[in-house]
Structure 1
Amino acid sequence: MHYGRILREEIATSATTPLIGIYDMYSASIAATHYNGFFVSGFGFAASHYGLPDIGFIAWPDMVAFAERLRLAFPSHHMVVDIDDGYVDPEVACHVVQRLERIGASGVILEDQKRPRRCGHADGKQILPLEEYLEKLNLVLESRSDLVVVARTDAVEESEIVRRAAALAETDADVILVDGVRSVEWIRRIREVVGHKKLMFNQIAGGKSPRLSLPELTSLGVDVAIYSTPCLFAAHTAIDSALTELKDADGRLPEVAQGAVEIGVKASTELLEKNISRHHSVHQPVSV
């Protein structure tokens, strides 16, 4: 399948395309029942795979292996992968992009941060000289075949945001992302700066950007919305609550009644069995 082309066709529609951040195969299995697009979040993967914050610790073979497992289980979902700074070296970035495209990723996001990197909504971010990032970005663009490439800047100074957004819009990148946008007014400003290019917006709970609905984002000219951490943070809340209740009940598990909201072994197994059946189905993109 031409996953990049299929994603481009959806992004080209008038409505904002949502991509849901997942952090492991189980969260992806649940998200797949609600949405047809995944965002393989660096924040979520660092938390689930290493138990660490999003500080640039991810090793590219681990991320590629995870993306491969996702594609095997979900052959029809959009899958955009966060590759941070391309794992520092431009040649490594190109190699990773080619590997991801070969296993069926729909797209990647490449940022302009320098080490030590930070979550896009954290303080203390540092960015590469623009010329150095553009050199890396252009090498990545030349190395891809069909893959959607999102050029991301983590600039925070207003004049630098404008300068970098305009420069990224002049490249062959498919989509532009300015991470950590702090207001609706700045979304409008960036939309004007990038012109005809597709625009991405990143929402993360407790982050620096405003919380906006998909219709609101569509009205602002945003083409793609990534939701980095809803699954991860929901799991954190639910696990903490379940274990608190278990402790309060002196270790007695709650009863899972027929039709109850609580998940038991039957409902969990039924969810995971869908991943087996997808291997044998016709690989067609699913609808939201």
Structure 2
Amino acid sequence: MPYLIGADRPDTPPGLAFRQLLQRPQILQIPGAHSGLAALQAKAAGFEALYLSGAAMTASMGLPDLGIISINDVCFFLRQIARASGLPVLVDGDTGYGEALNVMHMVLNFEEAGAAAVQMEDQLLPKKCGHLNDKKLASAYDMAAKVAAAAKARKHMVIVARTDAVASEGLDGAVARAKLYLEAGADAIFCEALTSAEMFREFSRQVKAPLLANMTEFGRTPFFTAKEFEEMGYKMVIWPVSSLRVAAKAQERLYASIRSEGGTHKMFDAMQTRAELYDAIGYHDYEALDANIVKTITPQGMPQNDDQD
């Protein structure tokens, strides 16, 4: 059942719920959800936590992932995903939206909007996707100061410190940064854009903390399954933009078909039906909360156009 109102809301604060998931022996699988509907679908598939990607948010807004969006933009997405699913959400905090005070402001707003955890990276603005070239890094000590500020500001939120240092400082540089960030108060570490199983294993061997792996498509990391990441020593794995990539490709095909065919008739088999959509969003559950609303009867199929006989 979708996440509704009042008593249906979880009693455990999201940050504590996320920590409880991390205490289990198995790896925590965290798919990206770029909308409330995607969050509901991920929950229905059995996932217990969600990831809100900066790249997915910006793409949804028709923008590149270059540090353009604001804290308020993120909170708009975060509220709908946390409300719709009731699941703990790990949210992409980019570079923290500034220095120490800005980071504290970000943490306060994200936690109020329902975030369970925040990921913050050690790039400088304009930041780039971690799998792209020519990323500019903040000093390790400046990033550690941001991590300390985030830890000071949070109530229950889990702080995930991300380092993009492998490309410019090598694995040793990334390990040194990770250890400094843990000393500053990070709860977990995300080393971005590792390029081989050997690198994943070596980072895990040297950094004793909950580790997050990023299984993004079309990047520098080879394909691994969740089980393989678990065997390499990782506690979390995200698929940050996968849901958006699939949805965007489907929309592209739909618009091309309407344009070429003059209608949607060639796409019926690829569509979620009205009944399936209503079931996903709990339409009738919401109706049942208000006795003044007459239960909707879903049309079965589509009327046939006699002119096409």
Tell me if both proteins adopt one fold, taking TM over 0.5 as the criterion: yes
Runs of 4+ aligned structure 1 residues displaced above 6 Å come to: none
Secondary structure of the structure 1 residue equivalent to 2:184: coil
2:216 is the counterpart of 1:204: yes
2:54 is the counterpart of 1:59: no
CA distance 1:255–1:90, shift in 2 (3 Å): closer
For residues 49 and 23 of structure 2, the distance between their equivalents in structure 1, rounded to whole angstroms, comes to: 15
The answer to whether the 8 A contact 1:24-1:48 is kept is no
Deviation at 1:253, TM superposition (A): 2.2
Percent identity (aligned): 25
2:113 is the counterpart of 1:103: yes
Residue 152 of structure 1 is matched in structure 2 by 162
Deviation at 1:274, TM superposition (A): 5.9
Where structure 1 has 5 or more consecutive residues not aligned to the other structure, the ranges are 281-288
Equivalent position amino acid for 2:123 in 1: Q
Residue 171 of structure 1 is matched in structure 2 by 184
Residue 112 of structure 1 is matched in structure 2 by 122
Deviation at 1:63, TM superposition (A): 0.7
**More displaced stretch, 88-97 vs 166-175:** 166-175
CA distance 1:57–1:275, shift in 2 (3 Å): farther
CA distance 1:79–1:68, shift in 2 (3 Å): same
CA distance 1:246–1:201, shift in 2 (3 Å): same
For residues 205 and 253 of structure 1, the distance between their equivalents in structure 2, rounded to whole angstroms, comes to: 31
Residue 286 of structure 1 is matched in structure 2 by none
TM-score, normalised on structure 1?
0.88
Deviation at 1:27, TM superposition (A): 2.2
Residue 292 of structure 2 is matched in structure 1 by none
For residues 239 and 255 of structure 1, the distance between their equivalents in structure 2, rounded to whole angstroms, comes to: 10
Deviation sequence 1:228-262 (CA, Å, 0-9, x none): 11101101221122233333423252474xxx663
For residues 15 and 151 of structure 1, the distance between their equivalents in structure 2, rounded to whole angstroms, comes to: 21
For residues 70 and 137 of structure 1, the distance between their equivalents in structure 2, rounded to whole angstroms, comes to: 25
TM-score, normalised on structure 2?
0.82
The answer to whether the 8 A contact 1:165-1:190 is kept is no
Equivalent position amino acid for 2:151 in 1: L
Residue 41 of structure 1 is matched in structure 2 by 53
Match for residue 270 of structure 1 among 273, 279, 284: 279
The answer to whether the 8 A contact 2:147-2:185 is kept is no
For residues 135 and 22 of structure 1, the distance between their equivalents in structure 2, rounded to whole angstroms, comes to: 30
Match for residue 18 of structure 1 among 26, 29, 32: 29
2:201 is the counterpart of 1:188: yes
The answer to whether the 8 A contact 2:123-2:135 is kept is yes
Secondary structure of the structure 2 residue equivalent to 1:141: helix
Secondary structure of the structure 1 residue equivalent to 2:44: coil
Deviation sequence 1:204-227 (CA, Å, 0-9, x none): 110111211111111111000011
Which has the greater radius of gyration?
2
Residue 249 of structure 1 is matched in structure 2 by 261
2:234 is the counterpart of 1:225: no
Where structure 2 has 5 or more consecutive residues not aligned to the other structure, the ranges are 1-11, 290-309
Secondary structure of the structure 1 residue equivalent to 2:265: coil
For residues 89 and 143 of structure 2, the distance between their equivalents in structure 1, rounded to whole angstroms, comes to: 24
Q: Which of 1 and 2 has higher RCO (CA within 8 Å, sep 6+)?
A: 1
Residue 214 of structure 1 is matched in structure 2 by 226
RMSD over equivalenced CA pairs, Å? 1.9
Deviation sequence 1:168-204 (CA, Å, 0-9, x none): 2333211100111111111111112212x10001111
**More displaced stretch, 180-189 vs 156-165:** 156-165
Equivalent position amino acid for 1:26 in 2: L
